Chains A and B, each alone.
Chain A
């Protein structure tokens, strides 16, 4: 059974400092996603990582994937208040060329303070 673990689950950040969220998964996966969710809202897709060594960056967020270690990281550079939200990683294994379910981590809730 594919399991996804995120840590930390809560992260209190100071503005301007750097932080990293970790996402470990238990079995081979084809794709890894990062989503952002604001309170009471839906999920916003941030990154899709497809291959070992993949690195994607958008603004202050950078995601990377190490398939051998079964680990993805989401790095936050110089945190700002706008980044306060819950971040989920999700893993997908493709079977028979058909889409399959996403398996989500429990999420990491970020809170940025001045």
Chain B
């Protein structure tokens, strides 16, 4: 019964490169959330996705950041042209879904991807 999986666990990029972070939700979960944690800070919501749909992207920076959750495969958080300020831990969480009603909304967190921009 695997939990939420994220890879890579650590990612180093030079300024201007692209970063791709992957998240596989728990089995049976079709809701995915991405959060960012800056050093010494709490987690900040970025985006909420269901399969093939972005539900809420109110926390996403307007430029360079995008997210997707395709019908098949993991959710991807993509950061283009990274800058030093993007260095942070990025956490993915998933929650279950059943029919047309969300039966539980508790979010289960993955281990995170720690992005370092040189």
Contact = CB atoms under 8 A, between A and B. Distances in A.
A92 B33 CA distance: 13
A65 B59 CA distance: 27
A97 B102 contact: yes
B111 interface: yes
State the main secondary structure of chain B at its contact with A.
strand
A99 B109 contact: no
Contacts of B102: 97-99
B105 A42 contact: no
B91 A43 contact: yes
Interface in B46-76: 48, 55-56, 59
Interface string B66-100: 00000000000000000000000001010100001
Looking at B33, B35, B105, B112, the one whose CB has the most chain A CB atoms below 10 A away is: B105
Interface in A38-96: 40-43, 45, 48, 88, 90, 92, 94
A25 interface: no
Name the interface size band of chain B. Answer: 20 to 34
Interface in A16-31: 31
Interface of A: 31, 33, 35, 40-43, 45, 48, 88, 90, 92, 94, 97-107
Interface of B: 31, 33, 35, 41-45, 48, 55-56, 59, 91, 93, 95, 100-102, 105-112, 114
Given A98-B55, A104-B43, A106-B41, 20 more contacts: A42-B91, A42-B112, A43-B43, A43-B109, A45-B108, A48-B106, A92-B105, A97-B100, A97-B101, A97-B102, A98-B102, A99-B48, A99-B102, A99-B105, A100-B56, A101-B33, A101-B59, A104-B42, A107-B41, A107-B42
10 contacts: A88-B43, A98-B55, A99-B31, A100-B105, A101-B48, A101-B56, A101-B59, A102-B93, A104-B43, A105-B42
